[in-house]
Structure 1
Amino acid sequence: MSRQSVIQILLIAAVLASAWRLLVGTGQRTQAVRRLGLLLLLGLIVYSIIDPSKTWTNLARALGVGRGADLILYGLAVAFFGFVVTTYKRFRAMETRYTRLARRIALDEARPAAEHVRQTGTGETLSADVTPPPSVKAADAD
């Protein structure tokens, strides 16, 4: 197996791990792994600041990549993909929470059917004649 294929396997594994992250839930274990990864990255950054000329180039050569700059580019591409996946999951969860909240508020502000029949004299749906209940903004203004 050549050195070039080693880095290719590592990069593909990192991309697949990010894709797998998209499919699984979040939890304390995921957060712990993320923190450990950030600590490892922090250590590598500090070391590369101390000895910048050799760190990335030597690591790149050990992994089968020609230059340290190429290795950094590959790492940033994988990290960006991981960031996109994490952000997508976070926004989807937030969107779901807002939808549930909006539904709950709509149900809480809806008048009972008996009150509607009493006011309109009919069991039909609301018409323009009936004033709607106060909105969330109106309730927040109080």
Structure 2
Amino acid sequence: MSRQSVIQILLILATVVIAWRLLAGSGQRTQAVRRLGLLLLLALVVYSIIDPSKTWTNLAKTLGVGRGADLILYGLAVAFLGFVVTTYKRFREMETRYTRLARRIALDEAPPVSEHVKSTGSADTLSGEVPPSPSVKAADAD
């Protein structure tokens, strides 16, 4: 197996893992793994600041990539994909929460059944069948 294929396999695996994260649920375990990954990245950044020439170039050559800059670019592409996936999931969860909140507020602020009966004289509309409004009746008469 050539060294070029090693990095290709690693990048494909990273992409598949990120795609799997999109489909998997999130919880405390996921948040802990994310924090550990961030700490690992932080350690790698600090080490690469201390010894920039050897860190990325040697790692790139070990993985079969020509230059350290190319390896950093590949890593950033995978990290960006991970960011997009996490942001998408977060927005989806927020949309769901806002929808539930809006429904709860609408139900809480709806007038009680007794007020509806007083204003209409009957509880017909509460059965689920909504009578047509006068404008619909007038339109049907034409």
**2:52 pairs with 1:52:** yes
Larger radius of gyration: 2
Partner of 1:96: 96
Q: Deviations over 1:58-81 (max 9, x none)?
A: 110000000101000000000000
Question: How many residue pairs are counted as aligned between the two chains?
Answer: 128
**2:3 pairs with 1:9:** no
Q: Secondary structure at the match of 1:26?
A: coil
Looking at structure 1, the residues matched to 29 and 120 of structure 2 have their Cα atoms a distance apart, in angstroms, of 56
Looking at structure 2, the residues matched to 28 and 119 of structure 1 have their Cα atoms a distance apart, in angstroms, of 51
- CA RMSD in angstroms comes to 1.8
Partner of 2:140: none
**2:101 pairs with 1:73:** no
Q: Secondary structure at the match of 1:39?
A: helix
Unmatched segments (≥5 aa) in structure 1: 129-142
Q: Which stretch shows the higher mean deviation, 13-22 or 31-40? A: 31-40
Higher helix fraction (1 or 2): 2
Q: CA deviation at 1:112?
A: 2.4
Q: Deviations over 1:97-137 (max 9, x none)?
A: 000000000001111233112123354569x9xxxxxxxxx
Q: TM-score, normalised by structure 1?
A: 0.84
Unmatched segments (≥5 aa) in structure 2: 134-142
Looking at structure 1, the residues matched to 49 and 98 of structure 2 have their Cα atoms a distance apart, in angstroms, of 44
Looking at structure 1, the residues matched to 115 and 46 of structure 2 have their Cα atoms a distance apart, in angstroms, of 69
Looking at structure 1, the residues matched to 96 and 32 of structure 2 have their Cα atoms a distance apart, in angstroms, of 25
Q: CA deviation at 1:34?
A: 1.0
AA paired with 1:15?
Answer: T
Partner of 2:118: 118
**2:111 pairs with 1:106:** no
